[in-house]
């Protein structure tokens, strides 16, 4: 048995949920240990991301630039052969004003690379990351969780005591049960997925070549995700009643289901299935949707698949994991510095997290009505998000993960905007000095000056009209708002 160690927070699991939460808490200077049972890189499903993750949470944790350099396929939206309309229809994230310009895309990622980048970043931000350490149980004393026990790859057992244990251990682990929660499975979404990888599949015409393509057919639906110019992730989802279609030999099952769906068989007409390496296996996964009855208890909080999961057609898994991690990280940071009491901080976390889960869940129920066309889906999105924008904009905000209106998910923070623009500003000053310019035109053209003028104008509007020009407001009556840096909670003034 190793010595009894201590930390502020122990995180179980190094997927996107765990590494995001660990980073957010370490950024506030707390001692965080993350225990991950596997050695990274490791394969995982969940390859199509949303802009809220890429430009919201990942920018807040400081890993967005590294993701931008990794060469992942840019996903500008989605293309669907779905519903009453026999022709495929496409949406672009850029339709929503919350995802304009440089934030109007997400990525299609190889999860082994994406998860490694996030975990390495957590390390870089001061998290004590220990791979090949499997958490066996939580330590509970006097009605509160107070740490974990683990075993490392050499069979050494150890314990770590902490003020908080975060369960981010995904959907297979049973650690969530120690929160006292039960897992409630949806009666509506009970499906099975069979999937593999192909080289040489076709691409949608530009500008949609990086889109996820989802095609519904008699037995279920396919996803078609372009991971690189030549590699494609292909999976079929069938309802539980049709489970026999994916039993038996997986190769035969997938081949015959592809033949049932002309849109996908056409895309794969010149493609070869990958049969080696991490992508060589055909895999089957239950994708039953569930939510736990509780997301936290004193000393313990659940994020990502450990807390909830909803049908994958709109690629919400990593979004819910990283958004849940942001919310839980804020609550932990607030309680550790005693700026908000535990009950209030975690109620805010759970209410916001359940709202986001609920919006996807409710919308997806209407999306499985295949007898209506896309306009009806857009209208449903407006209804479930209670939005005042157009039907299409409401739909795009929802499936982009930004319907909560959280500014941290959409707005580049002021400090960062100035940082990005300061080099441009310095160049403009140099130009004035070097050219002995009489006019200040280069300075006025620089976006930092333009921006300062815009902010000034906004401030005037706010003073004159009392208008909220982009300020954070509570999502619920009497609730909290995010702090200026997005890393903890504040009380609204």
Ligand X SMILES: Cc1cc2nc3c(=O)[nH]c(=O)nc-3n(C[C@H](O)[C@H](O)[C@H](O)COP(=O)(O)OP(=O)(O)OC[C@H]3O[C@@H](n4cnc5c(N)ncnc54)[C@H](O)[C@@H]3O)c2cc1C
- Applying CB under 6 A, which residues contact ligand X? 12-18, 35-38, 44-49, 134-135, 168-170, 173, 175, 193, 235, 285, 287, 304-305, 309, 312, 315, 317-319, 321
Tell me how many helices (H) and strands (E) the chain has. Answer: 14, 23
**Minimum distance of ligand X from residue 453's CB (angstroms):** 39
Q: Do 223 and 48 touch, CB atoms closer than 8 A?
A: yes
Lookup: tokens for 164 = 């908080």
Whole-angstrom distance, CA of residue 324 vs CA of residue 332 = 12
Q: Which is nearer to ligand X, 168 or 253 (CB)?
A: 168
Q: Which is nearer to ligand X, 16 or 382 (CB)?
A: 16
Residue 360: which H helix or E strand, with range?
A: helix 342-367
Q: Which is nearer to ligand X, 83 or 170 (CB)?
A: 170
- In this structure, the chain runs to a length of 493
Nearest to 212 by CA among 203, 225, 231: 225
**Minimum distance of ligand X from residue 161's CB (angstroms):** 17
**Minimum distance of ligand X from residue 379's CB (angstroms):** 25
Q: Which is nearer to ligand X, 13 or 299 (CB)?
A: 13
**Minimum distance of ligand X from residue 394's CB (angstroms):** 21
Lookup: tokens for 221 = 């639906």
β-pairing verdict for 300-302 and 157-167: parallel
Whole-angstrom distance, CA of residue 220 vs CA of residue 144 = 44
Calculate the CA 76 to chain-centre distance.
16
Q: Do 135 and 41 touch, CB atoms closer than 8 A?
A: no
**Minimum distance of ligand X from residue 454's CB (angstroms):** 34
Lookup: tokens for 69 = 């350099």
Instruction: For tokens 């929160």, name the residue.
Output: 179
Q: Which is nearer to ligand X, 96 or 108 (CB)?
A: 108
Q: Do 264 and 215 touch, CB atoms closer than 8 A?
A: yes
Q: Which is nearer to ligand X, 12 or 381 (CB)?
A: 12
Q: Which is nearer to ligand X, 357 or 425 (CB)?
A: 357
β-pairing verdict for 73-75 and 77-81: unpaired
**Minimum distance of ligand X from residue 493's CB (angstroms):** 34
**Minimum distance of ligand X from residue 197's CB (angstroms):** 13
* Cβ neighbourhood burial of 478 (10 Å; 0-12, 13-18, 19+): exposed
Phi, psi of 479, deg, nearest 5? -85, -175
Q: What radius of gyration do the chain's Cα atoms show?
A: 24
**Minimum distance of ligand X from residue 131's CB (angstroms):** 9
Instruction: For tokens 């509506």, name the residue.
Output: 188
Q: Which is nearer to ligand X, 15 or 210 (CB)?
A: 15
**Minimum distance of ligand X from residue 314's CB (angstroms):** 8
**Minimum distance of ligand X from residue 351's CB (angstroms):** 20
**Minimum distance of ligand X from residue 36's CB (angstroms):** 5
Q: Which is nearer to ligand X, 53 or 446 (CB)?
A: 53
Whole-angstrom distance, CA of residue 295 vs CA of residue 347 = 10
Whole-angstrom distance, CA of residue 97 vs CA of residue 363 = 21
Whole-angstrom distance, CA of residue 54 vs CA of residue 50 = 7
CA atoms within 13 A on the CB side of 196: 23
**Minimum distance of ligand X from residue 259's CB (angstroms):** 21
Lookup: tokens for 203 = 């691409």
Q: Which is nearer to ligand X, 162 or 481 (CB)?
A: 162
Buried b (16+ CB within 10 A) or exposed e, 215-251: bbbebbbbbbbbbeeebbbbbbbbeeeeeebbeeebe
Q: Which is nearer to ligand X, 282 or 452 (CB)?
A: 282
Q: Which is nearer to ligand X, 222 or 378 (CB)?
A: 222
């Amino acid at each position: 048995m190793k010595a009894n160690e201590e930390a502020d927070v122990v995180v179980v699991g190094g997927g996107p949920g765990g590494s995001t939460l660990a980073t957010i808490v370490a950024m506030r200077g707390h001692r965080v240990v993350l225990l991950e049972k596997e050695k990274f890189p490791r394969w995982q499903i969940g390859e199509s991301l949303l802009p809220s993750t890429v430009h919201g949470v990942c920018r807040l944790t400081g890993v967005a630039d590294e993701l931008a350099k990794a060469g992942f396929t840019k996903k500008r939206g989605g293309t669907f052969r779905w519903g009453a309309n026999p022709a495929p229809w496409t949406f672009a994230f850029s339709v929503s004003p919350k995802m304009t310009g440089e934030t109007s895309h997400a990525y299609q990622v190889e999860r082994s690379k994406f998860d490694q980048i996030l975990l390495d970043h957590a390390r870089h931000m001061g998290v004590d990351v220990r791979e090949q350490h499997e958490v066996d149980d939580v330590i509970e004393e006097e009605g509160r969780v107070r740490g974990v026990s683990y075993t490392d790859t050499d069979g050494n057992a150890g314990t770590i005591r902490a003020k908080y244990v975060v369960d981010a251990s995904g959907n297979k682990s049973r650690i969530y049960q120690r929160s006292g929660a039960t897992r409630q499975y949806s009666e509506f979404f009970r499906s099975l997925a069979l999937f593999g990888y192909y080289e040489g599949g076709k691409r949608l015409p530009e500008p949609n070549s990086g889109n996820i393509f989802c095609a519904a057919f008699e037995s279920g639906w396919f996803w078609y995700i372009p991971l690189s110019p030549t590699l494609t992730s292909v999976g079929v989802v069938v309802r539980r009643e049709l489970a026999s279609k994916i039993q038996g030999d997986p190769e035969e099952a997938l081949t015959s289901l592809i033949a049932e769906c002309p849109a996908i068989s056409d895309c794969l007409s010149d493609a070869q299935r990958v049969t080696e390496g991490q992508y060589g296996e055909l895999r089957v996964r239950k994708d039953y949707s569930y939510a736990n009855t509780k997301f936290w208890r004193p000393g313990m909080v659940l994020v990502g698949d450990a807390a909830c999961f909803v049908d994958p057609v709109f690629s919400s898994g990593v979004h819910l994991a990283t958004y849940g991690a942001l919310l839980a990280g804020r609550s932990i940071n607030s309680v550790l510095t005693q700026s908000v009491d535990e009950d209030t901080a975690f109620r805010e976390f759970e209410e916001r997290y359940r709202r986001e889960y609920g919006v996807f869940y409710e919308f997806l129920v209407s999306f499985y009505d295949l007898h209506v066309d896309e306009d009806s889906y857009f209208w449903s999105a407006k209804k479930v998000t209670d939005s005042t924008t157009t039907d299409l904009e409401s739909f795009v905000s929802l499936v982009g993960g930004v319907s909560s209106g959280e500014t941290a998910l959409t707005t580049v923070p002021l400090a960062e905007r100035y940082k990005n623009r300061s080099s441009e500003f310095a160049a403009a000053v140099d130009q004035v000095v070097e050219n002995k310019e009489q006019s200040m035109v280069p300075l006025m053209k620089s976006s930092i000056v333009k921006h300062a003028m815009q902010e000034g104008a906004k401030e005037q509007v706010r003073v004159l009209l009392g208008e909220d020009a982009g300020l954070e407001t509570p999502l619920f009556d009497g609730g909290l708002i995010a702090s200026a840096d997005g890393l903890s909670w504040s009380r609204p003034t």
